[in-house]
Structure 1
Amino acid sequence: MSLGLAAPAVAQDYEWPRLLVIGTPGTASGSFASTNGWGPVLQKETGTTVRIVPEDSEPQRYGRLTDRQDIAISSVSAAEMRFQIQGIGGYAGTKPAAQRVLWHHNDTPWGYVVAGDSELQSIDDIKTKGARVTQGVFSPPMVTAVTEALPGFLGMTEAEVADKITFVPASSYGENCRSVVEGKSDVAYCSPISSVLSEMEGAPGSIRWLSLDPDKADNWDGYLKHRPMLVPTEISLGVSTARGIGGATSNFLYAVSADAETDFVYNMAKWLHESHDAYADTHPLAKRMSIELFRGYLNRTPLPVHEGTVKYLREIGQWSDADDEWNNAAIEKMDAWLSAREAAMAEARDQGVEIQFENQEFLDILNKHTEGLEGLRSRL
């Protein structure tokens, strides 16, 4: 009763679901920590029971949102959504499903971390001296970041990669990052805002970062060929060892299924905006959920925004007719990819071909149906 009386007008105008389940990456991630910051505030103000579920496997969390539908909102990187939509890597055999952006979560910096006493002094040392590089098999984009994008930045050939780099698999984000301080690997792709990085920075010997110079245009051309949703940046968030180091920004979003109820999404967007002051100090990343940062992200995202969010943004003067144009185009592009993938799966079933991302026969069918489709890329 007290929760109901304390709830603001928005809760009185809308009947919130009794249970709201939000999926995030694992407990060592900034996404999990920051969502646990604002979730209790939402629960207190609206009376809905908020449950934050850590799901380290990106494909599993994708399936829980779009297929099992036992989570209503997913914290996911824009890069991961590209893989999910286009069926890249481990997503090739997953069920194609339309998603929409609910709100901007954070602009997460990423970089390549080594142990404090590592012999690697610069990113170029990987090419000349060789290294063991952790491969986060739980996330296809993280696999691409080390197996393709990093060699692309260094201008390495396939033969050089085979000769100089040994990839060390890791099954979770925490394991991925800790590998360098545990001596299992030399280099790991991590975000400096994650709590596990604070733990690593405080460990004996601490950590260092191998800078990706934002001004090296040719190197970044090679990198962005494989990770086109990222933006070169100088890291300014997270652990102190990373600040001032060259890295990449990956925007994290709160995503919903395309068929999520408009009223629900509208009221979530309204609450996230109107109550920002109430939850902004619950976690450093919560400050990145402001309407100003969201509006800036909308100027370059290639991902479609849910109609409920659009409705709210238009009401407060943060959505224009020009936004409708690019958003409709984004929906058409997503639908084209999903339709092509569905057609590929139908053909594979008709021919008795196993739908599996490691089955080259299926991948050949998939490539045939998706050939010529324009891939997702940040609108720079």
Structure 2
Amino acid sequence: MSILKYATHTTRRSMPAMGLLAGAMMCAVGTAQAQDLPSSMMWSAYDVGSSGYAEASAIADAFGREFGTRVRIQPSGSAIGRLQPLVNGRTDYAFLATEAFFASEGVYDFADRSWGPQDLRALGGRPASGGLATAADANIRQVSDVKGKRVAYVAGNPSVNVKLDAMLAFAGLTREDVDAITFPTYAAAMSSLTEGRTDATFTVTTPGLMYELAESPRGIHWVEIPQDDVDGWENMDQVAPIFSPYEETVGAGLSEENPVSMVAYRYPMVVTRSDLGDDEAYAFIKSLDEAYDLYKDATAVMDRWEIDQFGAPPLDVPFHDGAIRYLEEKGIWTEEHQAWNDKRKDRLEALIIAWEDAMEEGGELSDSEFADIWEEHRSNALINFN
């Protein structure tokens, strides 16, 4: 597996102020081909104040300045709120996180009979890092050491919880092998380590609560996820096939001199429907690439939108054919990438067929009865992909 290693800005630069209508439009068209993009677009994204919204806004501003394209961003604090406009065709692009995986798998909010597996495609995704954060005094030095320890989960937050389940799976463990403690909020779960109520959780490296843990009497320790542990990575892929190896140097207890091997996932990803035209997808990712210099300094992590990082799997859903065409032209797309994409598409197609069978069998049954039927069909469909 290739190692993703990023140079992160150490200072945050201010982004141009903007509202929902992103960017002041310039009449002149830049050097890229503005006719490849529509004159106006609507995107969905995370709520105002989130990093996903800030990054989408920076790109929207760049599209306005470079191509004269007006972008309206529709923010939402819920996964359904971000996906509904996309699948209904009110938006063609959504800046998403792990809910893209959940929607494609038909799980959590998307196991409802009104949803099921969604035929989504990605244009790419900005790498983000995360790992198994532990209190240093818990003496968890490898993933298997977490067995029997107190592990913090977050109620109603499948994005965090599935990543934590994947970390456990790396060592062949499940929630049954640990003392799983569920907290009502993300903040409560993260602070539970400092407070001595838990010993480990999954998180990104830069929240203030992790810096507090590092400065507390307990201290912080990030568990290594060895890049060469083939069995561990295969086990993790069975739970969430969205990770790649990553060496992090920025965050609580980390530095250039003290890096830790973690995982990379994608947030935000630019996601669309499978029926979006190839030329439209091609034009969008081409514009992202050509406008990069205009937005790369907008936030501390915008340099990770560089096309070599943005345009490589794995991520939560298959790449769109139009995006692949551009990545091939740039010399980024490899045979290994295509093999990953083919397998990911096969998995999604198998789940869509399994959903149709489940609906035919249990469409008139109660919600709980249907949930059991769908889980059985889904599990059978995934046997060939694990």
TM-score by length of structure 2 reads 0.73
Cα distance, 1:365 vs structure 2: 4.4
- Is 1:143 aligned to residue 161 of structure 2? yes
Mapped to 2, the partners of 1:126 and 1:57 lie a distance apart of 31
| Structure 2, unpaired ranges of 5+ | 1-23
Aligned twin of 1:96: 117
Give the aligned CA root-mean-square deviation in angstroms: 3.9
Distance 1:311 1:199, change over 3 A: same
Aligned twin of 1:205: 215
Aligned twin of 1:308: 322
Mapped to 2, the partners of 1:43 and 1:179 lie a distance apart of 44
Distance 1:266 1:151, change over 3 A: closer
Of the structure 1 ranges 41-50 and 300-309, higher mean CA displacement relative to structure 2 is found in 300-309
Structure 2 residue corresponding to 1:251, chosen from 249, 266, 276: 266
Give the alignment of 1:137-216 within 5 angstroms.
137-139=156-158, 141-146=159-164, 148-156=165-173, 160-161=177-178, 165-170=179-184, 177=190, 180=193, 186-192=199-205, 197-198=207-208, 200-201=210-211, 205=215, 208-214=220-226
Mapped to 1, the partners of 2:270 and 2:289 lie a distance apart of 13
Give the alignment of 1:38-53 within 5 angstroms.
38-53=59-74
Cα distance, 1:288 vs structure 2: 1.8
Structure 2 residue corresponding to 1:283, chosen from 275, 299, 303: 299
Mapped to 1, the partners of 2:75 and 2:26 lie a distance apart of 28
Distance 1:170 1:187, change over 3 A: farther
Aligned twin of 2:94: 74
Distance 1:33 1:112, change over 3 A: farther
Identity %: 20
| Structure 1, unpaired ranges of 5+ | none
Mapped to 1, the partners of 2:175 and 2:344 lie a distance apart of 34
Contact persistence 1:16–1:47 (CA under 8 A): no
Mapped to 2, the partners of 1:339 and 1:109 lie a distance apart of 33
Contact persistence 2:85–2:91 (CA under 8 A): yes
Residue 118 of structure 2: SS of its match in structure 1?
Answer: coil
* Deviations 1:169-202, CA, capped at 9 Å, x for gaps: 445x566545545777553321225xxx157526
- Is 1:22 aligned to residue 44 of structure 2? yes
Structure 2 residue corresponding to 1:8, chosen from 30, 33, 39: 30
Aligned amino acid, residue 41 of structure 1: A
Structure 2 residue corresponding to 1:368, chosen from 354, 374, 377: 377
Mapped to 2, the partners of 1:25 and 1:192 lie a distance apart of 21
Mapped to 1, the partners of 2:194 and 2:169 lie a distance apart of 26
Aligned amino acid, residue 355 of structure 2: R
Q: Which has the higher helix share?
A: 1
* Deviations 1:36-67, CA, capped at 9 Å, x for gaps: 43332223223334344554433543334224
* Deviations 1:246-295, CA, capped at 9 Å, x for gaps: 32221342111122344442321111111112222222432222222245
Contact persistence 1:280–1:287 (CA under 8 A): yes
Structure 2 residue corresponding to 1:234, chosen from 237, 243, 247: 247
Cα distance, 1:143 vs structure 2: 1.9
Q: Which runs of 4+ in 1 moved over 6 A?
A: 320-326
Cα distance, 1:102 vs structure 2: 1.4
Contact persistence 2:104–2:117 (CA under 8 A): yes
Aligned twin of 1:111: 131
Contact persistence 2:132–2:167 (CA under 8 A): no
Structure 2 residue corresponding to 1:352, chosen from 365, 373, 378: 365
Contact persistence 1:135–1:143 (CA under 8 A): yes
Mapped to 1, the partners of 2:162 and 2:295 lie a distance apart of 34
Cα distance, 1:131 vs structure 2: 1.6
Mapped to 1, the partners of 2:192 and 2:73 lie a distance apart of 27
**How many correspondences in the alignment?**
353
Mapped to 2, the partners of 1:278 and 1:73 lie a distance apart of 20
Structure 1 residue corresponding to 2:348, chosen from 295, 318, 334: 334
- Is 1:127 aligned to residue 136 of structure 2? no
Contact persistence 1:208–1:242 (CA under 8 A): no
Cα distance, 1:133 vs structure 2: 0.8
Residue 103 of structure 1: SS of its match in structure 2?
Answer: strand
Mapped to 1, the partners of 2:294 and 2:236 lie a distance apart of 39
Contact persistence 1:16–1:46 (CA under 8 A): no
Mapped to 2, the partners of 1:121 and 1:326 lie a distance apart of 36
Cα distance, 1:31 vs structure 2: 3.3
